[in-house]
């Protein structure tokens, strides 16, 4: 090929990234630290401790970073996470998915190993099974009742007769009815700051109301646990609340940016990918990150700005305006201009490294065994392992 027809060379990638296989999950540690500091400062002002939900990070390195280097109180979404974190010295763990009888042996084994595990439930039959299992094993179990504060998912209505019925079914010397927990999942559908503030208050009020009713019925109910990232960051008053659970704040993602909880330049997680080809007549660059790397999560599809499978950045993390991962096959992604965006597709020679910001950090991170954790620009990264499975 004559020199004038040579394809343009890929721009030199930062040395720390050029050696990595792609796709790779990148974690921008300084951004993550700023996200953690923001959440901590907010909750300190409101006078309530954080019990981070580690289902997002599933990583000891990240969880310790949230707690200033030590294993602190955490929330988990699987008993596998509980076991993995317990083995690393975490002793105060809330398993925040409704317990079922089949999982009680695993929970009891963790309690026997000295883990301060708390379980949640919202069903009278499950309550009876928990009492039976705890008494048979001669083990004390700590239980929170799950409260439905917004019609989003599971839980008991704070004013329901069933709340007291379930708590009463737990009366046993082997059970501590320790309180209530709720999660305002409807906060993800809020579209204004005012709506987020109102949702945070709705979450708080429901949990506090339920706890007061339990106390009036003679249950200890000292714990009042609330939280989602949007409500944690928009709550103006957390009177009566004893802890806040938030998870995705640690990385943030495009869904959170779409709700207005963060900016896209605060997203700490991205997928490093390589341009592997083009369909120039269609305005496409093809990359080696498809849904196997980004996940199938299209959480922004229901938001005012649809970010397709992710926002495209250069290898240094600078956003390339109007470029999206417009569609995804298993291992191929298609980079194209956002619908209606003016101007031509930029030159992205084969071999160019790009970063894709994900819709849903928890789902994208779950595609990988670990993070390539990046420090200051130019610094070589470190490998931080993640847990997987159930
Ligand atoms: C029970 C529970 N608590 C807390 C959270 C944390 O929410 P976020 O990731 O918005 O911080 C979740 C998230 O799904 C959850 O299910």
Is the Cβ atom of 229 under 6 angstroms away from ligand 1? Answer: yes
**DSSP symbol at 90:** -
What is the model's pLDDT at position 15? 72
Pocket of ligand 1 contains residue 51 by CB under 6 Å:
no
- For residues 349 and 200, state if they share a domain: no
For residue 155 and ligand 1, the question of a CB distance below 6 A is answered with: no
How sure is the predictor about 1, in pLDDT bands with cuts at 50, 70 and 90? very low
62 and 164 co-located in one domain = yes
Q: What is the pLDDT of residues 137-152, one digit of tens each?
A: 999 999 999 999 999 9
Are the beta carbons of 323 and 317 closer than 8 angstroms? no
**How far does residue 200's CA lie from ligand 1's centre (Å)?**
13
- So what's the pLDDT on residue 3? 43
Residue 320 lies inside a defined structural domain of this protein: yes
Both 156 and 286 in one domain: the answer is no
pLDDT digits (tens, 9 = 90+) for 4-58: 456 667 766 667 788 899 999 999 999 999 999 999 999 999 999 999 999 999 9
Q: Is residue 116 located within the same domain as residue 236?
A: yes
Residues of the domain holding 343: 11-26+262-385
Task: Please check whether residue 142 is in contact with residue 148, taking contact to mean a CB–CB distance below 8 angstroms.
Answer: no
CB 337 within 8 A of CB 284: no
Q: Please, what sign has the CA dihedral across residues 67, 32, 15, 363?
A: positive
> Dihedral of CA 189/190/196/202: which sign?
negative
pLDDT value, residue 8? 65
12 vs 9: CA distance, rounded Å = 9
User: Is position 196 within any domain?
Assistant: yes
Does any domain span residue 6? no
pLDDT at residue 2 greater than cutoff 50: no
pLDDT of 9 reads: 72
Q: How confident is the model over 173-196, as pLDDT tens digits?
A: 999 999 999 999 999 999 999 999
Overall average pLDDT of the 282-311 stretch: 97
Q: How do residues 84-123 score in pLDDT, each as one tens digit?
A: 999 999 999 999 999 999 999 999 999 999 999 999 999 9
User: Does any domain span residue 2?
Assistant: no
Q: Quote helix, strand, coil % in the chain, to nearest 5.
A: 35, 25, 40
Say which CATH number the domain at 332 has. 2.40.37.20
Q: Is the CB of 93 under 6 A from ligand 1?
A: no
Q: Are residues 184 and 108 in the same domain?
A: yes
Residue (of 198, 79, 115, 95) closest to 149 by Cα position: 198
Average pLDDT, the chain: 95
pLDDT of residue 7: 63
Under 8 Å between Cβ of 252 and 35: yes
**Which of 55, 145, 189, 228 for mutating ligand 1's site (highest number of atoms within 8 Å of CB)?**
228
Stated as kind and residue range, the H or E segment containing 292 is: helix 291-294
From 193, 215, 250, give the residue that closes a domain: 250
Share of the chain above pLDDT 90, in %: 91
* Contact predicate 51/245, CB 8 Å: yes
Q: Which of 226, 250, 274 is the last residue in one of the domains?
A: 250
C-alpha 243: how far from chain center? 17
Residues 22 and 80 in one domain: no
Choose one of 119, 227, 260 to mutate for the ligand 1 pocket test, by most ligand atoms within 8 angstroms of C-beta: 227
Domain end point (choices 225, 250, 275): 250
Q: What is the mean pLDDT of residues 286-302?
A: 98
Number of domains in the chain: 2
Predicted local confidence at residue 271, as pLDDT: 98
Of 134, 357, 342, 370, nearest to 264 by C-alpha is 357
Residues 115 and 237 in one domain: yes
255 lies in some domain: no
Task: Supply the CATH number for residue 65's domain.
Answer: 3.20.20.10
* 351: confidence class by pLDDT, cuts 50, 70, 90: very high
Task: Clarify whether residues 117 and 152 are in a common domain.
Answer: yes
What is the model's pLDDT at position 16?
Answer: 77
The answer to whether residues 280 and 377 belong to one domain is: yes
Determine the average pLDDT of the residues in 345-370.
97
Q: Is the peptide bond before 193 cis (omega within 30 degrees of 0)?
A: no
Residue 141 sits in the same domain as residue 290: no
* Residues 301 and 217 reside in one and the same domain: no
Is residue 313 within 8 A of residue 358, CB to CB? The reply is no
């Amino acid at each position: 090929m004559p020199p004038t027809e040579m394809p343009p060379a890929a721009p030199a990638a930062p040395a720390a990234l050029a050696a990595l296989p792609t796709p790779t999950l990148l974690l921008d540690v300084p951004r993550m630290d700023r996200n953690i500091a923001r959440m901590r400062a907010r909750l300190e002002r409101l006078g309530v401790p954080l019990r981070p939900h580690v289902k997002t990070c599933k990583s000891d390195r990240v969880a310790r970073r949230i707690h200033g280097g030590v294993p602190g109180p955490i929330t988990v979404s699987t008993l596998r996470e509980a076991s993995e974190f317990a083995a690393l010295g975490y002793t105060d763990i809330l398993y925040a998915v409704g317990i079922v009888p089949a999982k009680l042996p695993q929970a009891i084994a963790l309690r026997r190993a000295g883990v301060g595990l708390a379980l949640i439930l919202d069903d009278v039959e499950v309550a009876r099974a928990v009492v039976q299992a705890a008494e048979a094993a001669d083990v004390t179990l700590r239980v929170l009742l799950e409260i439905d504060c917004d019609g989003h998912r599971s839980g008991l209505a704070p004013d329901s007769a069933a709340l007291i019925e379930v708590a009463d079914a737990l009366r046993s010397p082997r059970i501590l009815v320790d309180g209530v927990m709720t999660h305002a999942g409807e906060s993800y559908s809020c579209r204004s700051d005012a709506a987020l503030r109102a949702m945070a208050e709705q979450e708080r009020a429901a949990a506090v109301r339920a706890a007061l009713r339990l106390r009036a019925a003679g249950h200890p109910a000292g714990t009042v646990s609330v939280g989602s990232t949007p409500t944690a960051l928009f709550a103006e008053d957390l009177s009566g609340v004893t802890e806040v659970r938030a998870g995705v704040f640690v990385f943030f993602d495009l869904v959170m940016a779409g709700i207005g909880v963060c900016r896209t330049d605060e997203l700490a997680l991205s997928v490093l990918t390589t341009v592997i080809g083009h369909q120039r007549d269609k305005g496409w660059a093809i990359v080696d990150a498809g849904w196997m790397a980004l996940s199938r999560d299209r959480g922004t599809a229901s938001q005012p700005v649809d970010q397709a499978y992710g926002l495209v950045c250069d290898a240094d993390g600078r956003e390339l305006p109007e470029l999206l991962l417009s569609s995804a096959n298993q291992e191929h992604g298609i980079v194209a201009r956002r619908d209606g965006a003016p101007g031509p597709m930029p030159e992205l020679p084969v071999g160019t490294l790009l970063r894709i910001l994900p819709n849903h950090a928890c789902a994208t991170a779950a595609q990988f065994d670990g993070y390539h954790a990046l420090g200051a620009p130019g610094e070589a990264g470190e490998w931080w392992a993640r847990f997987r499975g159930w």
